[in-house]
Amino acid sequence: MSEVFRGAVGDLDELTPVDSVVTIGNFDGVHRGHQVLLRRAVNTAHDRDMRAVAITFDPHPAAVLRPGSEPPRLQPIDERVAALLALHVDLVLVLEFSHELSRLTPAEFVEQVLVRPLATRRLIVGTNFRFGHKAAGDVVTLVEEGEQHGFEVEAVALFELEGRPLSSTAVRAALAEGRLEWANAALGRPYRLHGEVVAGEGRGRTIGIPTANVAVGETRVVPGNGVYAGTASVEGEVWRAVTNVGLRPTFDGKVRTVEVHLLDADPGTDLYGRELSVTFEHRLRDEQRFDGIDALVAQIHADVDAARTLLGGPPV
């Protein structure tokens, strides 16, 4: 049965050492490049009758070392853990990134994280993996440490998509630029956001197209301004949806919002205060200013028709 352990480096003595195949990384988004490492670790572990372990970090190292410089997240940590478990990892170790951890030398990191608490027998990392104080350790360092501590090291080349190296940074950039098709292909699934439905200005309802204003927060990656087709769900209830991301230039908006119009929902559906999850499956168009309300309404109806065509029948 899979398990999750969360703690600082000083807590790792609570783990029971079991011969393990380990992979390690930030794993934000658990994209297809990450999945290559993770599946390799799981398959190798199970072939050898060992434990498959994924080590990830929280918070992001930049949030500790250079506060304010950390990138927005593709996933909150709970979603990341769930995605790791879904790949049949036996143990997800969420290691608290701290100044103490950052000051460990490569040798200390290997001893205190990989060897003593986990009994690592094989370590699988990307070829660009760096670790230890000031990122002094690399794959060569790991091989040298492995020879001393009795574990093998496998370095896996970066996954490429359409000739472009796949990384969390590249996925963030693609989403921010509205390159949704590439981003979703990189993730291996539609990008998803969730947040509480909060009160907006109510303009959608006054023009006959009610929307749910989703408070996403500044720590998440939000796709570039535009109109998208996808799904929206609350507590297992799912609708097709059209989502607008942007400033609402027709109304001279100043604040960026994520507004979701549910297709085929009961007009009396009340979402205020509830957690709404939204997928971004197709980019319909860029955000634009219209000459008036009538032109805007006509375009929204065209967006809805386009979304129905792209999304097909009611979501299962």
Residue 81 phi, psi dihedral angles, 5° rounding:
-60, -45
Q: Where are the domains of the chain?
A: 3-161, 190-311
C-alpha gyration radius of the chain: 22
What's the confidence (pLDDT) of residue 210? 86
Which long-range contacts link 42-50 to residues 24+ away (Cβ below 8 Å)? 42/87, 42/88, 42/89, 44/122, 44/124, 44/154, 45/20, 45/21, 45/90, 45/122, 48/19, 48/21, 48/121, 48/122, 50/18, 50/19, 50/20, 50/21, 50/121, 50/122
Are domains 3-161 and 190-311 of this chain identical in fold? no
CB atoms within 10 A of CB 60: 18
Euclidean distance between CA atoms 292 and 298, whole angstroms: 10
Amino acid at 16: T
Architecture of domain 190-311: Beta Barrel (2.40)
What's the confidence (pLDDT) of residue 316? 43
**Structural tokens at position 310:** 């792209």
What's the confidence (pLDDT) of residue 164? 84
What's the confidence (pLDDT) of residue 291? 78
Secondary structure, 3-state, the chain: CCEEEEECHHHHHHCCCCCEEEEECCCCCCCHHHHHHHHHHHHHHHHCCCEEEEEEEECCHHHHHCCCCCCCECCCHHHHHHHHHHCCCCEEEEEECCHHHHCCCHHHHHHHHHHCCCCEEEEEEECCCCECHHHCECHHHHHHHHHHHCCEEEEECCCEECCEECCHHHHHHHHHCCCHHHHHHHHCCCEEEEEEEECCCCHHHHCCCCCEEEECCCCECCCCCEEEEEEEEECCEEEEEEEEEECCHHHCCCCCEEEEEECCCCCCCCCCCCEEEEEECEEEECCCCCCCHHHHHHHHHHHHHHHHHHHCCCCC
Which value, to the nearest 10 degrees, does the dihedral of the CA atoms of residues 74, 77, 81, 83 take? -20
What's the confidence (pLDDT) of residue 51? 98
Catalytic residue among 218, 235, 237, 259: 259
What's the confidence (pLDDT) of residue 253? 59
What's the confidence (pLDDT) of residue 165? 86
What's the confidence (pLDDT) of residue 288? 86
What's the confidence (pLDDT) of residue 15? 97
What's the confidence (pLDDT) of residue 205? 64
Q: Which of 24, 43, 35, 49 is nearest to 123 (CA)?
A: 24
Euclidean distance between CA atoms 183 and 311, whole angstroms: 18
Architecture of domain 3-161: 3-Layer(aba) Sandwich (3.40)
Q: Which of 71, 86, 84 is nearest to 27 (CA)?
A: 84
Residue ranges of the chain with per-residue pLDDT less than 50: 316
Check if the beta carbon of residue 225 is closer than 8 Å to that of residue 283.
no
Q: Which residue has the tokens 């998208």?
A: 228
What's the confidence (pLDDT) of residue 283? 97
What's the confidence (pLDDT) of residue 28? 97
281 is catalytic: no
Euclidean distance between CA atoms 160 and 171, whole angstroms: 12
Give every strand in the sheet of 152-156, ordered side by side. 3-7, 91-96, 51-58, 20-24, 120-126, 152-156
